[in-house]
Amino acid sequence: MIVFLLLPALLLLLIVFVGPLFRYAWLSFHANSVMTGLIAIPNGGANWLRLMQDQRYWQDLGQTLRFAGVSVGLELILALSIALLLDQRWRGRDVVRTLTLIPWALPTTVMALGWRWIFNTPYGPVDHFTKLAGIGSLNILGDPNFAWMATVWADVWKTTPFAALILLAGLQTIPADLYEAVRLEGGNSLICLRRITLPLLRPYILLALLFRIAQAFGVFDLIQVLTGGGPASSTESIALYAYWNALRFLDFGYSSTIIMASFMLISLICVFAWMFLQILIPTHSKSRGAIES
Amino acid sequence: MNRRFLISLLLLWSLGPLLWQVYTSFCSDQALIQPFISHDHRWTLTHYQNVLNANPPFWRYLVNSFIVGVSSTLLCLVLALPAAYALNRIPRRLSILSRLALVGAALFPYVLLFLALLELAREFNLGNQLLALSLPYAALSQPLAILLLNNAFNDLPPELEDAAKLEGLSLFQRFRWILIPLISPATASTAILVFLFSWNEYPIALTWISDSNKLTLPVAMARIAGSSIYSVPYGAYAAATVLGSIPLVLLVLIFQKPIVSGLTSGAVKG
């Protein structure tokens, strides 16, 4: 009986999550493109060899890692600050919390279009600002040195509320008397943050981080609408490259190879990020010892 | 004072870009190019008129997205509710293992699935059908939905169901009259999060739908943006951005409680 309750959901999950991975693994060892009339023909490891030598892939991989690293890093710092602010008691806090959620709820493509106008040269507000500030016109979306920063900016704007909300939930589980104990012993806010807040927030930081790294690595909507991968593919992400290969060049075999490689990479990165954070953030038991001693 | 400054900064950061779109959408084309134009030519409603009178009109995309959102949410809940319940009644090891797998699936950047899903759509002729989109959407939001609902079932006291069993209620009756009503807050949170996901989803809608009358809002926005960066009717874009944002801003303002509790209960217990 129980099995019948689980079966429909399980079946759907297998079709949508597990099936594709096997399909990609299989396709990545086949030529399947317009050249073969969209029929899969085994080609040994030719796709993988091509991937190894594909400069555009490696460039996109570097760009994707840069995008994910910088935006997730900024986002966590910002989210922690926002969560600390929202954790304090003040009038109108709930209203502000709701309002900060709005960027997260909007469809990515909607605001990506908005950001295109904001970063527009010469009519957008950012361009007006840099001119007023004496820096001059930067041509943000047309310059490979700046365009990727614009994508990071837009991503941080959209996804920080989510991380802040997770961290806020964590902050609200920390009992207030722990802070009082530190203050009684003459500790200041900074010591509170290091000895109490961060260690107890650890599982929440880990969760927000893993989720955001995985999502940022797969960035697609934002970049496709904001820059289209340009200028000169300087903001192109791996997901966008896989998409071009499938839908523009109609090369399903190679697109699968890119996706398969990305999937393995993202799993590795998540494992490493998790281990790294285990070391970086002290556990609570240690910190409690530090307070008591 | 310091805190008030920080709060203003936070609000400016969160709402500024959106308010700038609102401002732009009412500016005439000349005003956008020459910031210091005289007041007579400054404000206009033509951008909204253009967007709403376009072919297909803008509200069509909102209706499409709404249809997809509702059907995906319903399908997702119908599948996730029994599964979340059953997850507590299988051997403990297996249950923990499946929860871990679900967390992994929830973390997965689903955009990478687009190619295999596109092949499925071609195989089974699911392209260009709004209701068919709810299949992948319900499936992709399944991990989060099952985890959230499973948490809710876990929080119920087990004596409750035992008592109902002694009364002779069948599994379906217990489900319908006791369990579902008790976890309705969690169900509401889950439903809203699934709806938000379906409303905002882009890569799959992009590859499944090509008929311009059936586009969902995110794809329509991207298609509007499809032209070159330099020759762009930004007033109309801003009007589209504002119109596309209004339903979600309302949704967040009305349902902020279930949204927050859904997101955080996933974090606290997951």
Please tell me the distance from the alpha carbon of residue A39 to that of residue A35, in angstroms, as a whole number. 9
- Per residue in A123-167, pLDDT (tens digit) is 788 887 888 887 777 788 888 888 999 999 999 999 999 899 888
Nearest CA in chain B to A226: B225
Banded model confidence at residue B267, pLDDT cuts 50, 70, 90: low
ipTM field: 0.86
A8: left (phi over 0), alpha (psi -120 to 50) or beta: alpha
Please give the biggest Cα pair distance in chain A.
76
* Three-class DSSP category at A44: coil
d(CA B97, CA B99): 5
Percent of chain B with pLDDT over 90: 19
Q: Is the pLDDT of residue A100 over 80?
A: yes
Residues of A in contact with B110 (CB under 8 A): 218
Q: What is the mean pLDDT of residues B2-6?
A: 86
Burial profile B205-242: b = 16 or more Cβ within 10 angstroms, e = fewer:
bbbbbeeeebbbbbbbbbebbeeebeebbbbbbbbbbb
A153 shares contact with chain B (CB less than 8 Å): no
- Cα A84 off chain centre by: 22
Is B237 within 8 Å of A266 when comparing Cβ atoms? Answer: no
| CA gap B142, B84 in Å, rounded | 10
DSSP states of B197-219: HHHH--HHHHHH---TTS--HHH
Distance of alpha carbon B198 from alpha carbon B130, whole angstroms: 11
User: Chain A residues with CB inside 8 Å of B32's CB?
Assistant: 123
For tokens 């700046």, what's the residue? A146
- A106 in contact with chain B, both atoms CB, cutoff 8 A: yes
Whether B109 has its CB under 8 Å from any CB of chain A: the answer is yes
pLDDT tens digits, A44-54:
888 898 989 99
* Residue A290 contacts B where some CB pair is shorter than 8 Å: no
Asked if A59 is an interface residue toward chain B (Cβ–Cβ < 8 A), one would say: no
Chain B touched by A18 (CB under 8 Å): no
Measure the CA–CA gap between A79 and A68, rounded to whole angstroms: 16
pLDDT recorded at residue A5: 83
Q: Which two tokens stand for residue B184?
A: 């309705």
Measure Cα distances from A197 to A83, A275, A277, B12 in Å.
11, 20, 15, 27
Q: In the predicted model, what is the mean pLDDT of residues A59-68? A: 93
Average pLDDT, chain A: 85
Is the CB of A168 less than 8 angstroms away from the CB of B229?
no
Residue A166 touches partner B, C-beta closer than 8 Å? yes
Interchain proximity B138–A2, CB inside 8 Å: no
Average confidence (pLDDT) over B59-77: 93
**Nearest CA-CA distance, residue A272 and chain B, Å:** 15
Q: B113 to chain A, minimum CA–CA distance in Å?
A: 6
Structural domains present in chain A: 55-292 (1.10.3720.10)
Which among B65, B61, B41 has a CA at the least distance from the CA of B52?
B61
Question: For position A48, what pLDDT does the model report?
Answer: 92
Which among B35, B118, B142 has the least Cβ separation from residue A12? B142
Provide the β-strand partners of residue A30. Answer: A42
CB A161 within 8 A of CB A100: yes
Chain B residues 230-269 within an 8 A CB cutoff of chain A? 232, 234, 237-238, 240-241, 244-245, 248-249, 251-253, 256, 259-260, 263-264, 267-268
Topology of the domain covering B55-269: MetI-like fold (1.10.3720)
Closest CA to B201 of B213, B218, B215: B218
Nearest to A85 by CA among A104, A68, A100: A100
Question: Which of B10, B105, B120 faces A17 most closely, judged by CB atoms?
Answer: B105
CB contact under 8 Å between B115 and A13, yes or no, is no
Please give the interface size between A and B, counted as residue pairs whose CB atoms are below 8 Å apart: 245
Mean local confidence (pLDDT), A242-250: 89
Tokens of B237: 């874009």
Q: Taking 70 as the threshold, does the pLDDT of residue A240 lie above it?
A: yes
